[in-house]
Amino acid sequence: GENVEQHPSTLSVQEGDSAVIKCTYSDSASNYFPWYKQELGKGSQLIIDIRSNVGEKKDQRIAVTLNKTAKHFSLHITETQPEDSAVYFCAASIKTSGTYKYIFGTGTRLKVLA
């Protein structure tokens, strides 16, 4: 069935360094790839997304890249700060039974060390 693999499961970086989280999806028909940040007490929030007609998207310190041929997409966080510490989930949308479903990755726990 459809699945999304996400790596690494945990990532520790020094404050100011960059962090990269990678996801691979299986359904070549997927056309929308959001990234969510999950923080305790704040729920999960969309931080950036990309559609399949675009190869890269950037929003300040956060960027997402998409390689449709390889079915890879990655989250890049530059100049990391302690408040970036959280669990990050990638997802890929697939169309099934006339509607879109999101298949989520297994999550990456990012720790930014001050």
Partner 1 sequence: DGGITQSPKYLFRKEGQNVTLSCEQNLNHDAMYWYRQDPGQGLRLIYYSQIVNDFQKGDIAEGYSVSREKKESFPLTVTSAQKNPTAFYLCASKEQAGLAVNGELFFGEGSRLTVL
Q: Does 42 bind partner 1 (CB under 8 A)?
A: yes
Pairing of the two strands 108-113 and 10-14 = parallel
Cα–Cα–Cα angle for 7, 13, 19, rounded to 5 degrees: 50
What's the number of CA atoms in the CB half-sphere (13 Å) around residue 24? 6
Q: Does 114 bind partner 1 (CB under 8 A)?
A: no
Closer of 85 and 105 to partner 1 (Cβ)? 105
How many helices (H) and strands (E) the chain has is answered by: 0, 11
Closer of 32 and 78 to partner 1 (Cβ)? 32
Taking CB under 8 A as the criterion, the residue among 64, 105, 108, 110 binding partner 1 is 105
Q: Compute the distance between CA of residue 53 and CA of residue 48 in angstroms, rounded to an integer.
A: 15
Contact 58, 40 (CB under 8 A): no
Q: Does 50 bind partner 1 (CB under 8 A)?
A: no
Q: Does 51 bind partner 1 (CB under 8 A)?
A: yes
Q: Does 44 bind partner 1 (CB under 8 A)?
A: yes
Judged by the rule CB under 8 A, the positions of this chain that interact with partner 1 are 4, 6, 9, 31-32, 34, 36, 41-46, 49, 51, 89, 91, 93, 95, 97-107
